[in-house]
């Protein structure tokens, strides 16, 4: 009788462990499935010669759904970065900034974090026309990442910020006179 009780306890433990394991596997399967579907959608979107706005918007939606379901996953900031790029290519600069700011607020360890800060400044500067916010982000970028790739670009943008085309032409003509 004692052996029967031990066997029943062992079997019960295996069943309980199996159920918990099965739930975890199901979650991983959903995450893996979403990542696979996103990769497939990316291939389809980027293979097109002519950009397809519907595919692009579906791609963004898929990225955002993944980020919402798996915010701690290392793919989440990358998907936000890609969503931002697509939004920019389809003339949605405010959405582009919003996705990059999610990275700024939630993923400071993301390898492209400094680039995100620069791009936010660039989008505010050239696409949205909010020079105060552009200046804030360019300055943050320069101050926090003085040796990063786009520091010269950020400094140049700050130098020429707010100048009209005529003012820029005059400035470059003056520079050329002395060279």
Instruction: Let me know whether 154 and 131 are in one domain.
Output: yes
pTM (predicted TM-score): 0.77
Instruction: Let me know whether 62 and 128 are in one domain.
Output: no
Instruction: Let me know whether 80 and 130 are in one domain.
Output: no
Q: Specify if 78 maps to a domain.
A: yes
Q: Specify if 15 maps to a domain.
A: no
pLDDT at 7: 43
The count of domains in the chain is 2
Instruction: Let me know whether 27 and 102 are in one domain.
Output: yes
pLDDT at position 28 over 80: no
Question: Which domain does 50 fall in, by range?
Answer: 23-109
Instruction: Let me know whether 100 and 136 are in one domain.
Output: no
Q: Specify if 4 maps to a domain.
A: no
- pLDDT tens-digit profile of 124-154? 999 999 999 999 999 999 999 999 999 999 9
- pLDDT tens-digit profile of 100-130? 999 999 999 999 999 999 999 999 999 999 9
Coil/strand/helix, residue 62: helix
Q: How many CB atoms lie within 10 A of CB 153?
A: 15
Q: How far is CA 4 from CA 14, 47, 62, 96, in A?
A: 15, 62, 52, 64
């Amino acid at each position: 009788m004692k052996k029967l009780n031990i066997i029943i306890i062992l079997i019960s433990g295996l069943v309980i462990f199996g159920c918990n394991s099965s739930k975890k596997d199901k979650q991983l399967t959903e995450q893996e499935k979403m990542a696979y579907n996103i990769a497939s959608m990316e291939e389809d979107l980027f293979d097109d010669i002519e950009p397809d706005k519907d595919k692009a918007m579906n791609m963004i939606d898929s990225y955002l759904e993944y980020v919402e379901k798996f915010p701690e996953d290392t793919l989440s900031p990358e998907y936000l970065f890609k969503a931002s790029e697509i939004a920019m290519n389809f003339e949605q600069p405010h959405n582009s900034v919003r996705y990059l700011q999610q990275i700024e607020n939630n993923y400071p360890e993301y390898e492209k974090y400094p680039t995100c800060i620069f791009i936010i400044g660039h989008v505010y500067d050239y696409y949205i026309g909010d020079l105060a916010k552009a200046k804030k982000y360019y300055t943050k970028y320069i101050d926090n990442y003085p040796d990063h790739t786009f520091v010269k670009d950020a400094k140049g943008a700050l130098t020429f910020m707010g100048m009209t085309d005529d003012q820029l032409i005059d400035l470059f003509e003056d520079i050329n006179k002395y060279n």
